[in-house]
Structure 1
């Protein structure tokens, strides 16, 4: 099921496959140029090495004769130069393979297909019994390698830049020099540069975003295991190298806005590519519908007891600065900055002189939004003061010291509170 889901696409309502990967042809021996009289076995492989029971071969020989052959297996033995394709039931024809059977004294042998990250192996072969004493390899007419020890030449971890025109020159004896055929080698992409996709490019604060790093492997390299990484600007790594092509960011805030990217590499580290950077701009929701309530409710306070002013908002994201005010007074009674839609200010011991109108504001960088004024009524209890005096006379001064200190925190002039700011 996983194989079908990843490789086959159904046409809606038709029940037929709209796209099936092409089969690929492998060679044994792996060279596209061999000496005349040799045999090359071609094998037609379906996706994920599926071996078909019946295979159709298309053969176009360089003599101009074209043939179509259907075999019971998936192999074909070739003895003549030409172009070859194969087709398995339900698939399109493969890409062509060109074979050359040479009668020359020296040939340059190269693999049929080389992908970035592979080792490109070149072999200089003679048709005679005499062995070469030295060999030179040229790339685009320039000397690439010269050796009297090894007749082969290899490029570990070939890149796209290694594509070009190759030739080998062999020497034996003093004056015998042989030149091989010229071979154009194109290094193929194992996978293109990835593309980073996001479920939202302008998410709101507090929401989640899913990132996906997308690419596709060449049909001949579908079995290549890959690792993925996600990052953002300034070198912040969001997820280290692992085998997951997706990443969920559970919560985003305004300060998370920036450029995001992803990378893909083979597990052997032979090929690594990065996506273009994608800008994600996190949107902040302005504060709205600010209200203030009291505990005890209704603005009914009892002298000497604690009163809590609760400031809340219906909407708004990010860090919000809450501020509490007494009506007709410029200075704030208290201020708190929190990543919340609600904050509290506690007045430890309310006095009768503190009765009046109060309101709060909330600001998350768009400007303060005011609540309606709430009237605080303070009910006096005469017995409270006589109790306090009695406790002091009985030597309980230290037991009421915290209460006295909390009362001293209120300003005497204007019956206002001392401002306390927290974050």
Structure 2
């Protein structure tokens, strides 16, 4: 809600009324919320509608359900400026903030619940403005004193030409000077969860002064005192802060101050990942560590099996061997706060690295060579056994006595050769057989 509220600062009022969305007059169908800011407790807030007490519920927030003019009261500081909530066919809206010389300001002509709106014209003090608007918006930038006055718009809505109510634009001259900011801790850098105090100072100015604080881009006042205290600051509190000062007749604005909320490191990761596989001896491996969030400067420490081995976001392992196997982890660290007394660490998930000796090609070649050698040895053994068996058989035959009959039965070819060399007579064969028998 703080990013959508705006301050209506008129004169030197100390009780202020904020409106969400930050436009005046407000539109009832946009679910308008009013916020009362002032001294004292929120429980003492009293609300008024059209000059009559609306209710006193002890709340400083009010959700508007009826059109009308609203104010609030805080004890000791009086009534706030008024906020008008309209429920009409056509409404001209002005930013709900104090308008200074040099500001960028746009007026917009709105139809009821954003119904189709055509043929829009703008008027300043009854005079039609030509060529200064773009559709339903009128730009008055940079804002000058002569832009002050009464404005309204006309246009066609629901097949009829409608006229908006008149709104008053007041441009304030910048006469105050020397508005400056200071911060504690100095420099505007604060760690997440710490506190920051901004102070607004005026070198030249008379009379009672009123203050309002803004964060750039939010369009919302954050406080109405010379000091702005931010407790338990969050990461969305970073930005440019400035204060505006009024003495009732003039306004001045400080230069912006950059506030940086330093965020602890978190969600450390290692890439490439997930890494849980084998690599081979002689390979090169590079690991990179990063954090998802964390304000600089961030330091990185590499752990191998729980022991510190390197510093920096990159870990380069060259010509690795089996000794590089194990688990690797990255630790990210940053130190926050003015005196850097708060130290934050984030550990990445562990990654496993297993180094196998040799390359896969060498392993395959060695396996094929071993199988071939085994086959060769086996063939050699078989051949040698056959050679030995043949030699042994031959020697046995040479030592054994020859039996002609056995030879003729066992080796007909040898018997045949013997018959060829020494032909026998049939009678001899018969006599030999007869003697055997």
With structure 2 as the length reference, what TM-score do the two structures score?
A: 0.36
More helix by share: 2
